[in-house]
Structure 1
Amino acid sequence: MNGNRGLLIGRMQPVHKGHINVIKDTLEEVDELIIGIGSADKSHTNSNPFTGGERILMLTKALRESNIDPSRYYIIPLEDISCNSLWVGHVKMLTPPFNKVYSGNSLVQQLFEEENIKVIQPPLFNRTEYSGTEVRKRILNNTNWEELVPPAVVKVINEIKGTQRIHKLNQKEISELI
């Protein structure tokens, strides 16, 4: 490693074991990692039920629980902006300098590549199970969601009554369709 700093962006709705595995793997390639909480301004919807602050809390506690050295990462909330062509500049303004980006999102990859920033697609860990969509679906169905997230995240979700929120948001969306 030669003093390099990477940027990893994810919505983390919620933080799950796949995120922690990707962060651990990425930290093997970089000296420091900026973890961008994407769509930090979005919350209380079916696809984005948790606030940026709640996701930062989940991630901070999960990384501590995994014994990941806090001097090696920064957690930065990244709000969406309505103009994609300006988004990379927006991200650069909010983060420490970085020389590579880790993202599995094709739009994020495209936007950074257009700015001549190296993009690496991180390996996905058991993507069928370790996805925010799967965690939220299992919460709605009251089935084994806890096995997909670190214990610290289970505690945060319970503390903020996250399962009740997801159920209420789903009811709200159904009633809007009727």
Structure 2
Amino acid sequence: MAPFRGCLIGRFQPFHSGHRRLVERIAADVDELVVGIGSADASHTRRNPFTAGERVMMVRKTLEPYDLTDYVVPIEDMDRNSVWVSHVQSMAPEFDVAYSNNPLVVRLFSESGIEVKQTEMFDREALKGSEIRDQMVTGGDWRQHVPEPVQSVIDEIDGVARLREIE
């Protein structure tokens, strides 16, 4: 019997503790998880400071300790929503269910006949990529909001300095 596989797509700029808790929650429902790194073509901007490869490292290193088969796949942006789902499907292993709270993503997957499950948001005020990036720029305590492996990747790539320079 084929494994029941879920798909979670996000920008993960950066992958934070809310994302980790979400993956833990989804892992209870699926045998395998496809993590799509959205906006994979964007980097070195205030909204998207980290490259797809850097985000793959963040996700992979964070998920290493979990007993979960996962696939981390970069997904470039498209300006044609009508073919976006087929684009995702062409880049990722086949999946049975998608997880998202983004209204457009929910609609696009639903219109394509893919089951979509809405997900719980964890401490959304503090665990928001834009807030964490702002804390990096202003010298706030951003580390408390991201898993230790993500901190290590950001340190390795000098991500805080990058954000401050591209402000």
Q: What TM-score does the superposition give when structure 1 sets the normalisation length? A: 0.90
Counterpart residue number, 2:91: 94
Percent pairwise identity: 44
1:128 aligns with 2:121: no
- Tell me how far 1:113 sits from its aligned partner: 0.9
SS at match of 1:41: coil
TM alignment of 1:29-40, pairs within 5 A: 29-40=29-40
Query: After the TM superposition, which parts of structure 1 deviate over 2 Å for at least 4 consecutive aligned residues?
Result: none
Residue identity matched to 2:26: T
Residue identity matched to 1:113: S
Counterpart residue number, 1:175: none
Q: Of the candidates 136, 140, 145, which is equivalent to residue 139 of structure 1? A: 136
Residue identity matched to 2:17: K
Q: Distance in 1 between matches of 2:67 and 2:76?
A: 26
Q: Distance in 2 between matches of 1:161 and 1:107?
A: 33
Q: Distance in 1 between matches of 2:63 and 2:15?
A: 10
1:152 aligns with 2:149: yes
Residue identity matched to 2:89: K
- Tell me how far 1:3 sits from its aligned partner: 3.1
TM alignment of 1:159-170, pairs within 5 A: 159-170=156-167
- Once superposed, what is the RMSD of the aligned Cα atoms? 1.1
SS at match of 1:74: strand
SS at match of 1:128: coil
Q: Of the candidates 83, 86, 108, which is equivalent to residue 111 of structure 1? A: 108
Q: Distance in 2 between matches of 1:42 and 1:109?
A: 22
TM alignment of 1:18-57, pairs within 5 A: 18-57=18-57
Which runs of 5 or more structure 2 residues have no equivalent in the other structure? none
Q: Distance in 2 between matches of 1:62 and 1:33?
A: 14
- Tell me how far 1:137 sits from its aligned partner: 1.0
Q: Distance in 2 between matches of 1:107 and 1:137?
A: 26
Aligned residues: 166
Residue identity matched to 2:10: G
